[in-house]
Structure 1
Amino acid sequence: MKKILFVLALSTILSACGEGQLKVQDQNVSDFQVQDVNATNFKEVIEQGEGIILDVRTSEEVYSKGYIQDASLLDYYDEDFREKISLMSKDKDIYLYCASGGRSIEVVKMMEELGFKRVYHLNNGLMDWENAGFTLVKDALAKDDKIEELSLDEFEAMLVADKPILIDFHTVWCAPCRKMAPIIDKVEEDLKDMAIIRRIDLDKSKEVGKAYSIQGVPVFVIFKDGKEVWRHNGIISEEELKVQLNNI
């Protein structure tokens, strides 16, 4: 009888500890953390943190309903969704949402498997966000004509140049990539006489990404005489990029 009462008490304690948090893998065997939060808390962690906002709805949903400012937009139903999500920085906090929470819960499980560290999951998705009266961005994403698709042979032929080459490894769905695009364009304009700058679509140039071990986006690599001489993952300032190019 005592044993039965002990088991029931332990079950009650464990249930209480799990409130407000998605149940994933045993915390003793994984350092993955996920917090299931409401819209108010979701907005707060976005504003206070430096992570990545991830919208996993379809493009039709995004353009008809709008999206949270600065979100990376990646369709859960894309056949290569898992491959694309692997390109995101796994050490950064991820602020994850979908329309009502169903798809994003499945993505949480996937992120644990892929080695992400911490996810804030918007409980009930954008339904909760809109019910809280928070705004969405409804403008269409600007088209970027400078993104290139290259085979490995084409890429390596491009590296044979008499100037340093800065490569911006980029995807169209990545919000940090979109933020960096005008900065890269400014660097290109200011240093056009001493460097070559190209923006490569990593989604469509998979051979290149695999050959050069590109693990995330955005990634910036400088080549000289066909060889890699510098690499940086993530957002970087215009000034730092110019310093690196001038030092090559």
Structure 2
Amino acid sequence: MKTAILSLALFFWLSAVSAQVLPADAFDQQLRQTPIPQLLDVRTPGEFGGGHLPNAKNIDYRNAAFRDSLTRLDKNQPVFVYCLSGGRSAQAADILRKDGFSQVYELQGGYLKWTGQQKPVEGVPAKSSVKATALTPNELTKMLAANQLVLVDFYASWCAPCQKMLPIMAQLETKYAGKVTIVKVDADASKELMQAYQVDEIPTLLFIKKGSVANRFIGFQTQETLTSLLDENLVQK
């Protein structure tokens, strides 16, 4: 009997939590219907600077001061939280609930899903003229089979650190032509590939050697760091 009661309680708890993970349309509607919403963007400042939901406040989930920043929020008012694709926001929402926030709504699919549905954003810089490539997992698999060393740059036009890295990536393409395959992947258009490689931050660079991910870099990377990596692996090759 006790086991049955506990199972029933768990069922209702899971139902309540899942009801707070909302697809973009429902998240948008709930946000609009809330008189005093607290909208949190838990991505990095660099990602936030490349565009965000209107009136969002940036509190970086991976910053050491994240939990302290939550003390400035009102536990009696609903909190809406999102990240790039849903991973960090789920963890942030879990912390919020454990800290006593009862009304916590997560954006399912994150900023990628929101922008994919052409919903309003603000703070988006002018688009770059550099063309990025949309790739599927199958297309990348074929590319890896034909090339031993591949550097995959998950890029977005709204991403400020990505913009900063453009000249670096261009120089690397020229320097390592014929030795290392460097491909820029449009994050907005390559959601399936991002999910397959568990990419939830932009920019993310994957160095893939002989078909396996050897190195993963998140955020802005210097030319020195990437050059050292490629030179070292060319010697080992």
Task: Compute the TM-score of the two structures, normalised by the length of structure 1.
Answer: 0.50
Equivalent residue for 2:107? none
The Cα shift of 1:90 comes to 3.3
Equivalent residue for 2:61? 90
The Cα shift of 1:74 comes to 3.7
Per the alignment, in what secondary structure is the counterpart of residue 200 of structure 2? coil
| Alignment check: 8 A CA contact 1:166 1:195 kept | yes
Residues 42-79 of structure 1: CA deviation (Å, up to 9, x unaligned): xxxxxxxx94373xxxxxxxxxxxxxxxx312455xxx
Task: Give 1 or 2: higher helix fraction.
Answer: 2
2:112 aligned with 1:141: no
2: CA distance, partners of 1:186 / 1:172: 19
| Alignment check: 8 A CA contact 1:168 1:200 kept | yes
Aligned residues: 148
2: CA distance, partners of 1:159 / 1:89: 34
2:51 aligned with 1:73: yes
Q: Percent identity?
A: 25
| Alignment check: 8 A CA contact 1:152 1:207 kept | yes
- Aligned letter for 2:160? A
Choose from 189, 196, 201 the match for 1:211.
196
Equivalent residue for 1:41? none
Choose from 167, 177, 181 the match for 2:162.
177
Equivalent residue for 1:152? 137
- Aligned letter for 1:149? A
Q: Which runs of 5+ in 2 are unaligned?
A: 1-35, 65-76, 83-87, 94-122
2: CA distance, partners of 1:148 / 1:115: 30
Q: Which runs of 5+ in 1 are unaligned?
A: 1-21, 25-31, 35-49, 55-70, 77-84, 94-105, 118-136
Task: Compute the TM-score of the two structures, normalised by the length of structure 2.
Answer: 0.52
Per the alignment, in what secondary structure is the counterpart of residue 52 of structure 1? helix
2:46 aligned with 1:52: yes
The Cα shift of 1:142 comes to 2.6
